[in-house]
Amino acid sequence: MHAIDTHCHFWPAAFLESMRGGREYFGWSARNVTGDVFVLDGRRSHARATLPSADLADAATRIETRMKQQGIVMEAVMLTGFLWNYDLAEHDSVAFARDVNDELAHVERSSDGHVGLGHLPLPHTGAAIAEVERAVKDLGLRHFGLGTNFDGRNFDHPDIVPVLDAIAEAGATVSVHPVFFDGLGTPERLTSPLLKGGLQSPLEIGLALSTVVTSGVLDRHPEFRVWVSHGGGAAMFAIGRLDRRWGSMSEDDRPMAQTLSDYLRRFWYGNLLHNDTQLEFLMSMVGHDRVTVGTDYPYPWDHPMGSAHWVRSAEFLDEEQRRSVLWKNAVEFLGVEPTWVDEEG
């Protein structure tokens, strides 16, 4: 069976060209180490990175590679995590978002294998709303990728709620991904790379899912579609406590109309949970028809056998459930037409 990857990343072509050419790009620069391995110097990072050999600048080769690796015939692509650039001043933040969205729109128009998750200058409310309108009306983008917070502001913050409403009113979707910087936990507490890499993302996603609900956007816009990575993160394991807390609040204090668990099937969830027990638990909570394949490509966070191959081999799924998780659920969320036919139908 074919698969759609709803959790993968790209590096903007202008960024790659600038790094390889020794030029700065919105505060980022690179020092060549060897070949395509660089030390990236940015406003808050000095990281060693390998620039991808096949990215959206060569979209056809990239999707051919994904097909060979895991049978992936379509990708919903968002920025690589460290390049959210939410700390840019408004003028640069808008220019960066426009560059990214122009590229995504071009790739989406020219490739059957890619759906672009647009970028927004999220910290600048008015500019973000304006870019939603431009991206949808002028570029034809229908989806946006959002980091889980900026400067500690969650999705129920007054600066972000109008942006969510604007996306919903435009008939577009949101895919939520942990931010690379400003995640939950301080360096003093997340002392080990194991914790920072392994625990921070589920914490961030759990808080993001919860604050999408407490923002009230799902009450105001019943058709709004939201996808979250990492199986919904920590919120899925705290749902009973969250519901209990809602039940103990007065009606005037409740931030949303129903318990949080009543909203769980309003979301779609990436399957990047890494073991059978957690994936089975997620499906018991939300149903197999709300789970999609996510690989975190091109980063080494995928399931050891590959998230798509994992679904194909999972003994706790029947054939129709596998097909749903591999591509049917993504087709529903993204609103795309499949251009392939599985051998099973």
78-117 pLDDT tens trace? 999 888 999 999 999 999 999 999 999 999 999 999 999 9
Beta-sheet strands, E only, within the chain: 3-10, 29-34, 37-41, 46-50, 72-79, 114-116, 143-147, 173-177, 226-228, 267-270, 291-292
Q: Which two tokens stand for residue 158?
A: 């007054």
Beta-sheet strands, E only, within 159-270: 173-177, 226-228, 267-270
Q: What are phi and psi of 78, to 5 degrees?
A: -125, 165
Q: Between these two residues, 94 and 183, which has the higher pLDDT value?
A: 94
Q: What value does the mean pLDDT take over residues 168-173?
A: 98
**Residue % of the chain over a pLDDT of 90:** 76
Is the CB of residue 123 less than 8 Å from the CB of residue 93? Answer: yes
Q: What value does the mean pLDDT take over residues 169-193?
A: 86
Q: How confident is the model at residue 54 (pLDDT cuts 50, 70, 90)?
A: low
CA distance 166 to 124: 14
CA distance 94 to 91: 5
- Domains of the chain (ranges; CATH) run 3-25+59-334 (3.20.20.140)
CA distance 211 to 217: 10
Rg (CA), the chain: 19
Q: What value does the mean pLDDT take over residues 195-213?
A: 92
Q: Between these two residues, 69 and 184, which has the higher pLDDT value?
A: 69
CA distance 141 to 274: 31
Which pLDDT score is estimated for 122? Answer: 97
Per-residue pLDDT of 66-76, as tens digits, reads 999 999 999 99
Which pLDDT score is estimated for 47? Answer: 63
Q: What is the DSSP string of 279-300?
A: HHHHHHHH-GGGEEB---BTST
Is the CB of residue 129 less than 8 Å from the CB of residue 162? Answer: yes
Per-residue pLDDT of 34-49, as tens digits, reads 666 677 776 655 566 7
Q: Which two tokens stand for residue 134?
A: 């431009």
Q: How confident is the model at residue 345 (pLDDT cuts 50, 70, 90)?
A: very low
- Work out the angle at residue 9's Cα, subtended by the Cα atoms of residues 7 and 13, and round it to the nearest 5 degrees: 155
Q: Edge-to-edge strands of the sheet including 46-50?
A: 29-34, 37-41, 46-50
Q: How confident is the model at residue 160 (pLDDT cuts 50, 70, 90)?
A: very high
Peptide bond preceding 300: is omega within 30 degrees of 0, i.e. cis?
A: no
CA distance 108 to 102: 10
Counted residue by residue, the chain has a size of 345
Q: How confident is the model at residue 344 (pLDDT cuts 50, 70, 90)?
A: low
